[in-house]
Amino acid sequence: MTQFGRTGIMLDTINGSLDNLPSSITRRSGSVFYTGRSAFERRSPLYVLGLNPGGDPDLQRDETIAADIAQFRSQPANWSAYRDESWRGKAPGSHGMQPRVLHMMRRLGLQPHEVPASNVVFVRSATEAELNFEKAALLKACWPVHEAVIDALQCRTVLCFGGTAGRWVRSILRADTPFGRFRETNARGWLNEAHLNSEGLAVLTLTHPGRADWRNPDADPFPLIENVLAR
């Protein structure tokens, strides 16, 4: 099979999983992918997952998951929300967690538009607590998309922003075997961990870059990430 043919199969598989999302999900406020199609057209050792889109689902009711999927299919393939989007009116790639994620990508020698990125749950919420009431239903609806990405792109590591995302993904993938850890060398000492499942798939549970500045050496989990990717 040619590389072009393999690329088409990867993207077709992922698009098929998007088409299978129930309307009860797609009509709600939210988003799916944080990178463009080029990240889903080749093998990737890494898949990045936050918990869910932030914001206000009432004020952003028109920003539906269905609209986001349509945009994914029509916007430039070479795109990254962390690099190319303007957040809160700031220069693209300069606000909040954006420069921290871009810093980590550079350290890993990766281009932001080449790394598939999403959220465990696609539905927007103002707070994390709001998700807990729907956790089982939302995971059941959204996880088949992530399963398609992991399988099609042959991802070996899922990198999760924050403890809740990490716990949910570890539970689904049954990643119970500790593989490594990094504790911040500052006063708060937040913990970053890696776990493996029986098939050798790794889940990294990292401090959330919205709170921890990965550019600070005391909070930088790069050595743990590098070790997991090199296994």
Neighbour count for residue 226 (Cβ, 10 Å): 12
- State which H helix or E strand residue 50 sits in: strand 46-50
Superfamily of domain 3-229: Uracil-DNA glycosylase-like domain (3.40.470.10)
Nearest Cα to 118, choosing from 96, 138, 143? 143
Predicted local distance difference test score (pLDDT) of residue 173? 98
d(CA 116, CA 44): 8
d(CA 117, CA 193): 19
The answer to whether 113 touches 83, Cβ cutoff 8 Å, is: yes
Predicted local distance difference test score (pLDDT) of residue 132? 85
The answer to whether 129 touches 34, Cβ cutoff 8 Å, is: no
d(CA 4, CA 200): 28
d(CA 159, CA 141): 20
Supply φ then ψ for residue 18, to 5 degrees.
Answer: -65, -40
Q: At what angle do helices 135-153 and 163-173 cross, to 10 degrees?
A: 70
Supply φ then ψ for residue 191, to 5 degrees.
Answer: -105, 135
The answer to whether 164 touches 175, Cβ cutoff 8 Å, is: no
What does the domain layout of the chain look like in residue ranges?
A: 3-229
**Each residue's pLDDT expressed in tens, for the chain with a length of 231 residues:** 444 456 678 999 999 999 999 999 999 999 999 999 999 999 999 999 999 998 899 999 999 999 999 999 999 999 999 999 999 999 999 999 999 999 999 999 999 999 999 999 999 998 888 888 899 999 999 999 999 999 999 999 999 999 999 999 999 999 999 999 999 999 999 999 999 999 999 999 999 999 999 999 999 999 999 999 999
Read off the tokens for 61. Answer: 């009711």
